[in-house]
Structure 1
Amino acid sequence: MTTSVPYELIIVDGGSTDQTVSLAKQYGQVYQLFNANRGAQLSYGVTKSSGEILWFLHSDSVIESTKDLLAIIEKCFSDSIYSAAFFKLKFDSAEFFYRYLAETSTLRALFLGLIFGDQGLVTTQKNYEKAGGFEPVPLMEDWRFSRRLRKIGKFKLLPFTIQTSSRRFRKGKLQTHLKMHQIKLLYLFGVSPKKLAERYYR
């Protein structure tokens, strides 16, 4: 990425046994947390950061355009009305099902105040701390964190598209989609993230 805005790239690996770490070291500082859940990985990455703005990305995320991206992100947070920002989502498939998922994900973030991990959540270090940061939970860490962020400010939709993998749906699109909604519903009924993770990864 060519930019006049200084940045650091921090990669937190959950204990890969393939070539992930050696490849990642070519691009940024890599840390390994064995047997750590996703919430703990995200939280640990923040402790290693010295930046004023934090941008959280999944490893399979692809930004379709990076021209002036960091400068635009920086400008977004010059307005204190925003507590977080996110990207318009796209899947690596042009099928209607994935276009539907992408569009509804964007609407969910805008109107329900829920930014999920594959939408490239961005916030400031100050807002991260004010909202309590990511909790070391195995699931729903993005839901819990974004709800707290929404209480302290608005969310900004950035003028960029982020592409994510459709691999989790390939064993059954409708079945996986319904399962994810079931997880969300159970969470609203008070089921713990630990029990939800057991069901989700089963």
Structure 2
Amino acid sequence: MAKLSIVIPTYNAAHTLGPTLAALAQIEAVGLIKEVIVTDGGSTDGTLAGARETGAVLVNSDRGRGPQLRTGASAATASWLLFLHADTVLDAGWSDAVKRFINRSDAPAKAGYFCYALQDHTTSARYLERIVRWRNRVLALPYGDQGLLISRILYDQLGGYRPLPLMEDVDFVRRLGRGRLRPLEATAVTSPDRYQREGYLTRSARNLFCLGLYYIGVPPRIIRQIYE
């Protein structure tokens, strides 16, 4: 069976990392996961201690999701890579979905992403999930909070994640292209904290505005100031 390196970038993620790691430790994943790599950008809370307790490989990195993903991928040793955010929990069927994908004859030339869900029972959350499904289907633009499963061969062929402070996921997915992207038959449940704190409409509008700025060529380092 092909082995999987799971790369998780963190920065002060102690309150969300535990459930993320716990979801990976299901019995069905035994024999699939070679290593879980937590790439930390200088956390000052309990992130590192929590990662150590689970046996994850800890790697230090410059802060920023792009640099951290790139550093984690460089440290990975398996033939398949799964990039996952520290506030995203995969549902119970994730490992079976990954195995089915990897066993496809065309899998080494494709990349997979999970269905998007928010850990929130409100109508606003369901509406946003529908928008994300539309974005995936029509624009072929899954974001990093949906995870990304990709063979090491294809990842290296495309040059990997660039060390961008923001929009590293959009940049990489655009290089992948629609023809290489496939949805996985499992769900990634993401924290709704930003949406609940700012409001769904405000946060969604900010995200869309930042995406538009990126598409017209505004540098990610400037967009990051607006995003955060």
TM-score when scaled to structure 2? 0.81
Shift of 1:5: 2.5
Percent identity, aligned pairs only, is 32
User: What is the count of residue pairs matched by the alignment?
Assistant: 198
What are the residue-to-residue correspondences of 1:51-200 with 2, within 5 Å? 51-66=78-93, 68-76=96-104, 78-80=105-107, 82-150=109-177, 153-170=179-196, 171-200=198-227
Aligned position for 2:7: none
The 8 Å contact of residues 81 and 154 in structure 1, kept in 2 or not, is answered as no
The 8 Å contact of residues 110 and 157 in structure 1, kept in 2 or not, is answered as no
> Residue type matched to 2:88 in 1?
S
Shift of 1:30: 1.1
Higher helix share: 2
Deviations 1:138-178 (A, max 9, x none): 11100000010116x43111111110000011222211111
Indicate the SS of the match to 1:9. Answer: strand
Shift of 1:70: 3.9
> Residue type matched to 1:155 in 2?
L
The 8 Å contact of residues 87 and 157 in structure 1, kept in 2 or not, is answered as yes
The 8 Å contact of residues 112 and 182 in structure 2, kept in 1 or not, is answered as yes
Q: 1:9 to 1:23 in 2, by over 3 A?
A: same
- CA distance in 2 between partners of 1:62 and 1:80 (Å): 23
C-alpha root-mean-square deviation of aligned residues, in Å? 1.8
- Larger displacement relative to structure 2 (116-125 or 94-103): 94-103
Q: Does residue 20 of the first structure (1) align with residue 51 of the second (2)?
A: no
- CA distance in 2 between partners of 1:129 and 1:81 (Å): 12
Shift of 1:7: 2.2
Deviations 1:105-134 (A, max 9, x none): 233223322121100111111111122211
Indicate the SS of the match to 1:62. Answer: strand
The 8 Å contact of residues 10 and 49 in structure 1, kept in 2 or not, is answered as yes
- CA distance in 1 between partners of 2:169 and 2:72 (Å): 15
Runs (4+) of structure 1 moved beyond 4 Å?
Answer: none
Q: 1:32 aligns with which of 60, 79, 82?
A: 60
Structure 2: gaps of 5 or more residues: 1-25
Structure 1: gaps of 5 or more residues: none
> Residue type matched to 1:31 in 2?
V
Q: 2:76 aligns with which of 49, 53, 56?
A: 49
> Residue type matched to 1:85 in 2?
G
TM-score when scaled to structure 1? 0.90
